[in-house]
A and B are shown apart, each in its own frame.
Chain A
Amino acid sequence: MRDILQVQHLSKTFRLSKKQQKLERTKEKVRVAVNDLGFTAGEGEIFGLLGPNGAGKTTTLRMLATLIRPDSGDALIDGKSVVTEPDEVRRRIGFLTSELKLEDCFTPNYLYDFFSDLHRVDREVRERRKEDVFTRFGIDRFAEVKVANLSTGMKQKVSLAVSLVHDPEIIIFDEPTNGLDVLTARVVTDFLEELRSRGRTIIVSTHIFSLVEKLCDRVGIIIDGQMVQCDTLANVTQGESLEDRFFQIYKETAGDGQ
């Protein structure tokens, strides 16, 4: 299996604003969000980044999606560097997080076409894909309803559809089921599994153990910006539940730190 994603020594430090220092009651001027992080993901697998709040998951995924630049290190997606060839990377990835919003005043139909145009998808291909994904998610009934008037679940489905207009090789998904009811979450996870069966690679971040257990082929546990374990799900759990293993690992690393 080919490693379609190679993350090498990725680091990112943020300068904290005065406001943020006050908010987080810290005197530190900087925050190391990601610290020398490395992992690989093979073609056609679902890779889970598991970590507690503030571990650096979102920061890592944003660097992979070329939204922020790493301070050092690099990530290669299909051989293209996020640092030196961001446009090439953008063509190959679909990025989705609940922070990326759709404009309220447009309809799913309009937005699908808009993003298809930005990705320069052919009209015919676009119509075929749109029909496919809209029926699959039940968006077709709401295709002409403004986003503002859609339910949270439907919005998330539209976001998912819109971020995949170009049928990317790699799908990067920050907290895929956050804020969704069980039904919608199920639709999303089923879809991710289907994408995998079509040979797509999926990187998800989450702090939900069950999601990793259900979905992921391999998992990387990230704590305080560092990768503390990265292996197949079976090798990480070693027959125990993922939750128990996680706390063992967490204790070990916290012990290391002292």
Chain B
Amino acid sequence: MRSSIFTIMKKELARFFGDRRLMVTILMPGVLIYVVYSFMGSAMGDMFSTDEDYVPAIQAERLPDSVSALAEAAGLPVELCADVEAAREAVTAQELDLLLVFPEGFDGRVAAYEPGGGQAAPNVEIYYNSASTDSQTAYMTVTGLLDAYESSLANKFDVNAGAGTYDLATEEDAAGSYFAMLLPMLLMIFLYSGCSAVAPESIAGEKERGTIATMLITPTRRSDIAVGKILALAIVALLSGASSALGTILALPKLMGSEVEGFSADIYGIGDYVLLAVVILSTVLVLVTAISILSAFAKTVKEAASYSLPLMILVMLVGVSAMFGGGASRSLGAYCIPLYNSVQCMAGVFSFSATGTAVGLTVAVNGGVTLLGVFVLAKMFNSEKIIFSR
């Protein structure tokens, strides 16, 4: 590497590592993410977890013998209802979980009922309260019970009635496709915020403080300054991205609810991580270069932040695309679009469907874009309109 590139890089890194406040800004997101996600995870867990031993309070009006027997078999105690109106109010007040109202002579009418006979089928009304998790659970249990009873009455055929496992997806694949939906967007946002924490400071900040001209009067090539800065910024941004990613990976099991099996990052092997690292590296280079160029137009760090806002929105939109893509794109064209290619590659790695060609193409495209960006940045450093704009 050219020695002046190295000199510039060293100085940029020294600036970041010498500034404790800046280090905190860079590494803090990871810690915050871990704390916030863990907190969210446990809060959500509390909200949705149901007590296994909980016995729902169910009342029924005109409970037929058939259903009474079914409920008893399922271990659901059903009391007879004294007053339907009062019972409904109790459901609203979450004092009662479920109220079943059967039509008169339910068993007899069911036995006499002919589908297609022009007669209305006997209707069971079940009152529940969707604001109460217990009520909702009871509702699902009871409707399931009744559905099963109904289909057993007119049994023509069964679906998946045996005791076997019918969902043949491995736990890993299931977790993988879940990760593939969620993580690319999170990663893109983290990488972006890492880059935007450092690039405006280094480019617009130097302009604002008037220190960049001091460097420009030395016989250092403008491209060396651009390359040195971008490499150093990429390293720092990677650190910040890594901190965020680590925070996420550590907190994810808590967010998902630790009882859900398979939701841990050790379903991925070394190869997956290497691919991911390569993709992330090339993405950070693209992002840092883009933000650097935007920052070079700005006169102040603040202005740089507002100039890069559209890029942030773009990054988020591209990240969201992974949620609807249904895994990685198969067409190679998708890997020629910077940022989108990163998201597709990440989704591919997480869902075990990344190909070497796709990742290779992505890295090549991103490398090309970065080189072009360095060229543009070097030109900008040479432009008095950019450096001495008033």
- Whether a CB of chain A sits under 8 angstroms from the CB of B51 is no
Known: A68-B384, A110-B14, A117-B4. A102 touches B217 (CB 8 A): no
Complex Cα–Cα for A206 and B216 (A): 23
Q: Does A105 contact B19, Cβ atoms closer than 8 Å?
A: yes
Measured between C-beta atoms, what is the minimum distance from A2 to chain B in Å?
23
Question: B19–A67 contact, CB under 8 A?
Answer: no
Shortest Cβ distance from A69 into B: residue: B384
Contacts of B388 in A (CB 8 A): 62, 67-68
Q: Is A186 an interface residue (CB 8 A)?
A: no
B11 at the binding interface (Cβ < 8 Å): yes
User: B390 near A101 (CB under 8 angstroms)?
Assistant: no
User: Is the CB of A95 closer than 8 A to any CB of chain B?
Assistant: yes
A93 — which chain B residues lie within 8 A by C-beta?
Answer: 217
Interface flag for A90 (CB, 8 Å): yes
Q: Which of B214, B384, B389 gathers most chain A CB within 10 Å?
A: B214
A118/B220 in contact, CB under 8 A? yes
- Write out the residue numbers on chain B whose beta carbons fall within 8 Å of the beta carbon of A69: 384
Binds A, one of B97-105, B205-213, B361-369: B205-213
Which chain B positions have C-beta within 8 A of A103? 15, 206, 209, 211
Q: Give Cα distance in the complex from A76 to B4, angstroms.
A: 26
**Interface members, chain B 209-266 (any A CB < 8 Å):** 209-211, 213-221
A99 on the B face (CB < 8 A): yes
Residues in B neighbouring A68, C-beta threshold 8 A: 384, 388
Chain A residues 104 to 150 lying within 8 A of chain B, measured CB to CB, are 104-106, 110, 114-115, 117-120
List of A residues within 8 angstroms of B7 by Cβ: 114, 117-118
Bound: A102/B7 CA distance, A: 16
Task: Knowing A99-B213, A101-B210, say if A115 contacts B218 (CB, 8 Å).
Answer: yes
Q: How many residues of A contact B (CB 8 A)?
A: 32
Using known A-B contacts A105-B18, A114-B11, A115-B218, determine if residue A100 contacts B384 with beta carbons closer than 8 Å. no
Among residues of A, the one whose C-beta sits closest to the C-beta of B205 is A103
Asked if A34 is an interface residue, CB under 8 A from chain B, the answer is no
Contact at B214–A90, with CB atoms within 8 Å? no
Chain B residues with CB below 8 A from A105, complex form: 15, 18-19
Report the minimal beta-carbon distance from B10 to chain A, rounded to whole angstroms: 8
The reply to whether A87 and B387 contact each other, CB–CB distance below 8 Å, is no
Known: A65-B217, A117-B4. A101 touches B209 (CB 8 A): yes
Judge if B165 is at the interface, Cβ distance under 8 Å: no
Contact A67 B216 (CB under 8 A): yes
Q: What would 10 A/B residue contacts be, using CB atoms closer than 8 Å? A: A17-B389, A66-B217, A87-B221, A90-B218, A95-B217, A100-B217, A103-B209, A103-B211, A114-B11, A118-B218
Extra A-B contacts (10), CB below 8 Å, given A69-B384, A101-B209, A114-B11 = A20-B390, A67-B213, A90-B217, A106-B15, A106-B18, A110-B14, A117-B7, A119-B218, A119-B219, A162-B214
